[in-house]
Amino acid sequence: MISIIGPTASGKTGLGIALARALAARGQRAEIVNADAYQMYRGMDVGTAKPSVAQRSAVAHHLLDIVDPEQSMSVAIFQRLARTCIDELKERDVRPILVGGSGLYARAAIDDISFPATDARIRQQLERREQTEGAGALYAELTAKDPRAAQQMDPHNPRRTIRALEVIALTGRPYSATLPRYRYVMPAVQIGLDLSRAQLDERVDLRTRQMREQGFTQEVRRLRDRLGKTASRALGYGQIIAALDGRISEDQAYEDIAQRTKRLARKQMGWFGRDPRIHWLPALATDLTERALAVVEQADAGRFDAEDSYADTYAVHHLGDVADTPPTRSDDGGRQRLRH
């Protein structure tokens, strides 16, 4: 299983297609499984940078356009769909290439992650408390009940705090017990696309201009009354709706989209950067496909041990700073983590 991850606008779609075609040229069929949370929605094409018709014709894609904007999609639902799709591809002797910038979705497909059920009554009670007592009160309660989980939360993000308290109430166990672990449930190799901050910002600005030229405003006008609770969270749609309503200008809307996308990209790099198993490659390298193929070949040859986070020389990065030397061993024979 190949998983291509990286921040928005880093070129994941292009690499996925190029890698699939390169593998096909070697006699190995490969198809792409989408792991972008919002590309699953029909009609949300420009705003999510969904692969074009030509790109989908070049390589078969799965889990695109599978739900309407009015419907809800969750990572738990995606996990079931993705694993079923991956199993079906393997049965046909087709190599799955998972592509997407939604970090939790990408990990849900291949990692040991479980998603506890929800309870509408408990959720509503917590949401009412957030409105009356404030997000700080709920975060303080989470800190008392599960300090480990609280440390990984944003005190100003009540949605995640509410979910953690809901799981605690449902299971009687700490929410941190359900948090993702870096352990594959299937043989996998992850390839990450790395860029400097300047390169990333430049690509985000370019993508935002292209969205405008490709008719994103018209797409939002067409979909605005159909966007459900989940789909409406997709970055950019709210800004364009504000422009359509006359609350801001269209120029301001696209400027805000670019700035928010840059902040999102940095958060994505922080998320991905915590996973030591990712093989980071420079996104703008002219020989990127060949480098990615080399990583896949080494994984196929058994060079990378899934239980040894630092089995490769690409493990450490920081928005462009990639280690060129393998990590050193500690005195007890274990691997020492390199500083980001």
Which neighbouring-strand residues pair with 281?
Answer: 193
pLDDT band at 311 (very low <50, low <70, confident <90, very high): very low
pLDDT reading at 328 higher than 50: no
pLDDT band at 313 (very low <50, low <70, confident <90, very high): very low
The span from the CA of 81 to the CA of 100, in Å, is 15
The span from the CA of 284 to the CA of 289, in Å, is 10
Task: Give the per-residue pLDDT at 310.
Answer: 39
Mean pLDDT score, 181-203:
93
Query: Which domains, ranges and CATH numbers included, belong to the chain?
Result: 2-113+184-197+275-300 (3.40.50.300), 120-178 (1.10.20.140)
Which strand (E) or helix (H) includes residue 324? none
pLDDT reading at 156 higher than 90: no
Residue 186's nearest CA partner among 109, 260, 247 is 109
Mean pLDDT, rounded, of the chain: 88
Task: Give the per-residue pLDDT at 115.
Answer: 83
pLDDT digits (tens, 9 = 90+) for 18-62: 999 999 999 999 999 999 999 999 999 999 999 999 999 999 999
pLDDT digits (tens, 9 = 90+) for 206-227: 999 999 999 999 999 999 999 9
Which neighbouring-strand residues pair with 41?
Answer: 67
pLDDT reading at 318 higher than 80: no
pLDDT band at 178 (very low <50, low <70, confident <90, very high): confident
Integer-rounded Cα Rg, in Å, for the chain is 21
Mean pLDDT score, 127-132:
95
The span from the CA of 73 to the CA of 78, in Å, is 7
pLDDT reading at 321 higher than 80: no
